[in-house]
Amino acid sequence: MKTRILLDCDTGIDDALTLLYLAPLVRSGEIDLVAIGTVHGNVAPETGALNTLRVLERAGVHDVPVAVGAGRPMAQPVEFADEWHGTDGLGDIGLPEPAARPADVSAPEQIVRLARANPGELTLLAVGPLTNLGIALLLEPRLPRLFREVVVMGGAFDHHGNITGHAEANVWHDPEAAELVFAAGWPLTLVPLDVTHPTALDGAWLDRLAAGEGEVARFASRILEFYVTAYHRSLGVRGAVIHDALAAMLAVDPSLGEYTERPVRVELRGDRTRGATLWDRRRYADDGDRPAVRVAVRADAAAFQERLLSSLL
């Protein structure tokens, strides 16, 4: 059965590269990109929607509805990530406005409508904070039974956080929404920092991309510059982790990963640990009625890097 993706994102730079990775698969008909929703996180959802349209147009993907979603988390003030993605979310290189405009429907409503219209057929791929998914779950309690699969880039288990020492950004930006998503009981695969960080791109990979002459390769190099500079400033190395593209690759080809099953909870009350993703490591864990989710514990970094590069070149 063809993978039919409903994407929820906060288009920022690694979200943009994820769209560029998916584009050739969409153009060849190998997968369907049914619709996209945007959410606060790296940038405001309106900005994320315009960025998504800008990237789709450059990638030769047309007629995919892009709906604007939640502009703030459920229970904390909104924060953005200008220092990693730029004020405009695509590295502040001054891109022109897209030709297309966002859809009239909100992203959570679009999730509910498409799930009802395509029961059991769609893969919901979420690579931003989970506010839209949380709202959709509140709007439609049957939602967990209406998706073929849900793949989320988020969380950190045996790896430090990236927005605090304990919390990964997508979960930290809306812990209440993440808790709703992890407790919902749908066929959920979580792609945490534990598997995205080992796929980090290095200077040699960036040089191979920079040598590309195509429009998409040049665009990817240009928007990556800001992100690579931010990585260099904070970690002192030339490289970047394209977290979201790994989640997309595992949604399209799960054989690239290895998985375990465990119930996952989100810390909501810790002063220093709010947004951390937790599991009970005891042999006789007390997980009550919390359903297990599938967690990626290893991924084929070489295959990821080669497939990403070839999709951009």
Does 243 participate in catalysis according to the annotation?
yes
Neighbours of 265 (CB within 10 A): 17
* DSSP bridge pairs for 153: 191
Residue placing its CB nearer to Ca ion in the complex, 26 or 191:
191
Residue placing its CB nearer to ligand RIB in the complex, 198 or 291:
198
- What is the rounded end-to-end Cα distance, in angstroms, of the chain? 28
- Residues 242-281 touching Ca ion, rule: CB under 5 A, are 244
Please give the C-alpha separations between residue 192 and each of 120, 155, 168, 208, in angstroms, as whole numbers: 25, 5, 8, 27
CB 241 → ligand RIB: shortest distance, Å? 8
Choose the contact partner of 98 out of ligand RIB, Ca ion, none; CB within 5 to 8 A by kind: none
Burial (CB < 10 A; 0-12, 13-18, 19+), residue 310, is: exposed
Among 15, 140, 168, 174, the residue binding Ca ion under the rule CB under 5 A is 15
CB 177 → ligand RIB: shortest distance, Å? 14
CB 58 → ligand RIB: shortest distance, Å? 18
The span from the CA of 40 to the CA of 47, in Å, is 9
Residue placing its CB nearer to Ca ion in the complex, 131 or 263:
131
Choose the contact partner of 140 out of ligand RIB, Ca ion, none; CB within 5 to 8 A by kind: none
Q: What is the arrangement of strands in the sheet containing 293-299, beginning at the earlier edge strand?
A: 66-68, 32-38, 4-9, 122-126, 149-153, 188-191, 293-299, 257-262
CB 175 → ligand RIB: shortest distance, Å? 14
H-state helical runs in 125-201: 131-139, 169-172, 175-183, 193-196
Choose the contact partner of 168 out of ligand RIB, Ca ion, none; CB within 5 to 8 A by kind: ligand RIB
Please report where in the chains the tokens 């219209």 appear, as a residue. Answer: 117
- CA 146, 152, 156, 157: dihedral to nearest 10 degrees? 40
CB 84 → ligand RIB: shortest distance, Å? 7
Contacts 24+ apart (CB under 8 A), 234-238: 237/202, 238/202, 238/203, 238/206
Write out the residues near ligand RIB by the rule CB under 6 A: 10, 12, 14-15, 41-42, 127-128, 153, 162, 168-170, 243-244
Does 82 participate in catalysis according to the annotation?
no
Choose the contact partner of 263 out of ligand RIB, Ca ion, none; CB within 5 to 8 A by kind: none
The span from the CA of 148 to the CA of 108, in Å, is 18
- Residues 71-130 touching Ca ion, rule: CB under 5 A, are 127-128
Residue placing its CB nearer to ligand RIB in the complex, 12 or 102:
12
Task: Determine which one of 85, 166, 173, 243 is catalytic.
Answer: 243
Residues making contact with Ca ion (CB under 5 A): 10, 15, 127-128, 244
Active site residues: 10, 243
